[in-house]
Amino acid sequence: MEKRLFALTLALILGSVFLVHLGRDNETGRTLIRNASMVLTMDSALGTLEDADVLIEGDHVASVGKGMSAAGAKVIDGKGKIVMPGFVDLHTHLWQSLIRGCATDKELNGWLNGCVLPLRGSPVDGTDAYAGTRLSTLDSISTGVTTVTDWSHAFNPDFARGNLRALTDSKQRFVFAFMASADSWVAPEVRRVKKDVIDRSPLAHLMIGTHPASWNVADVEAAEKLSEELDVPLNVHLLESKADPATDQMGVLRRAGALRPGLLANHVVHATDAELDELAAHDVRIAHNPLSNMRLASGVARVPDMKARNLRVGLGLDGGTNDTSDMFNDMRAAVGLQRAQSADPARYPTPADVLRMATLGGAEALGLEKQIGSLTPGKKADLQVIDAQALNFAPKVDWTSQLVFNTQPVNVQWVFVNGVALKKNGRAVGDTERVIADAQAAADRVRKYLDR
């Protein structure tokens, strides 16, 4: 009898421990952001709501509206706060935090030759790639980025694996653009990565990176072949610097059969009318990277002319080249560059336009608009909560414009990806100190190699 009593007691204790544990998990499974002063849904049917709730259930937005029940939910007080979709950074190179501050007085090719290309064939490895990417993901999550398109130079298999491991560990949604060449290790490795990592993760997507140029035809053809075989888009730097048109980038893409819907072209600064027409005719998507274009003296992309052709354009940060992961800064630059060039304050894009480009526009460019980019119930819960009661943001006048002109990453209080909080109460989740120390060690190794 005593034994049975003991067993029963033990079962009760274990059961309650299990229930407490379940309860903890449930806390992250259902979150109500209550009475948010503004909910910028980016969904044209829902519009922008005031004093509204956003309910997250599991990995998705369950509902957006007023007076929702908080039963069983963790509650975040939304008073004085703005809820909006997380940003889609449409183009970046996350490992490049390791070369921050490198060749800051050079244009694209000077910077590439000083900081990036020498690393081909160098001992830079998976540990380095992991450290740089991990730092960048934490930084980027802090500024409200929930999806990144990470164009990896994949200098060697170990580098590519470290890069990808850091992306996976970040819990950010990502597109891994694997730079493919005709080298014999590449195609088998990319196939393996797709099967073993990408296809198994709800957060991961794959693209094939390449660089179209008259001196790189074999690699472009190999990349295009792999892109078709795996049915994933190609991702290229196109007409970025004033030196690029001379390398016949458009001709190389055309002859390889790569100008087709879904192709993601980064920059497209030095395009002619006919080239923009051709890109639009093939439904090519464009990543506009204003901060990078400014830093590398690349020029000003013809964003209003892209808009006139209904090209799908999103915003990118372009990695360490622009020295920051701040999407608010990037949006300001996207507006400011056009205004400065045209001396016309009504010039496209407006603040409302760049907010769309940085969210739903990026999702559309990736073909992910059914999953992310707006706070539409049923879509994945990728969103951010911004404190509008800060010295740099208050008072309330025109919050849509203030989001673009006033916001700093420090105002981002909460970031959710797939329903999981990756920034809580203003702090990125993770061992920030260790991540910084590891990135410093890796940056020192890279620096030593570049300076040799």
DSSP bridge pairs for 423: 415, 428
Q: Which residue is nearest to Zn ion (CB)?
A: 318
Indicate whether 323 belongs to the interface with Zn ion (CB under 5 A).
Answer: no
How near is the Cβ of 292 to Zn ion at its closest, in Å? Answer: 7
DSSP annotation string for 125-161:
-HHHHHHHHHHHHHHHHHTTEEEEEEEE---SHHHHH
- Window contacting Zn ion (CB under 5 A); options: 100-108, 208-216, 313-321, 332-340: 313-321
How near is the Cβ of 50 to Zn ion at its closest, in Å? Answer: 39
**Closest to Zn ion by CB, 130 or 151:** 151
**Closest to Zn ion by CB, 318 or 326:** 318
- Window contacting Zn ion (CB under 5 A); options: 74-82, 223-231, 317-325, 428-436: 317-325
**Closest to Zn ion by CB, 151 or 414:** 151
How near is the Cβ of 321 to Zn ion at its closest, in Å? Answer: 7
Q: Where does residue 7 rank: exposed (0-12), middle (13-18), buried (19+ CB within 10 A)?
A: exposed
Indicate whether 318 belongs to the interface with Zn ion (CB under 5 A).
Answer: yes
* Sequence-separated (6 or more) residues with CB below 8 Å from residue 85: 40, 41, 42, 146, 359, 360, 372, 373, 374, 375, 382, 383, 384
Indicate whether 330 belongs to the interface with Zn ion (CB under 5 A).
Answer: no
**Closest to Zn ion by CB, 235 or 411:** 235
How near is the Cβ of 243 to Zn ion at its closest, in Å? Answer: 15
DSSP bridge pairs for 385: 83, 414
Residue list 417-446, contact with Zn ion (CB under 5 A): none
Handedness of CA 218, 224, 229, 232 (dihedral sign): positive
How near is the Cβ of 252 to Zn ion at its closest, in Å? Answer: 18
**Closest to Zn ion by CB, 113 or 392:** 113
**Closest to Zn ion by CB, 318 or 364:** 318
Quick check: helix, strand or coil at residue 94? helix
Distance CA 134, CA 428 (A): 12
In contact, 441 and 125? CB cutoff 8 Å: no
How near is the Cβ of 266 to Zn ion at its closest, in Å? Answer: 5
In contact, 176 and 207? CB cutoff 8 Å: yes
Phi, psi of 252 (to 5 degrees): -65, -45
180-185: list long-range contacts, CB under 8 Å, 24+ apart. 180/154, 180/208, 180/209, 180/210, 180/219, 180/222, 180/223, 180/226, 181/210, 181/219, 181/222, 181/223, 182/218, 182/219, 182/221, 182/222, 185/157
How near is the Cβ of 60 to Zn ion at its closest, in Å? Answer: 31
Length of the chain: 452
Number of residues binding to Zn ion, judged by CB under 5 A: 1
**Closest to Zn ion by CB, 54 or 90:** 90
How near is the Cβ of 211 to Zn ion at its closest, in Å? Answer: 10
How near is the Cβ of 268 to Zn ion at its closest, in Å? Answer: 12
**Closest to Zn ion by CB, 53 or 219:** 219
- Window contacting Zn ion (CB under 5 A); options: 62-70, 154-162, 316-324, 341-349: 316-324
Q: Where does residue 3 rank: exposed (0-12), middle (13-18), buried (19+ CB within 10 A)?
A: exposed
Q: Could you list the residues that contact Zn ion (CB under 5 A)?
A: 318
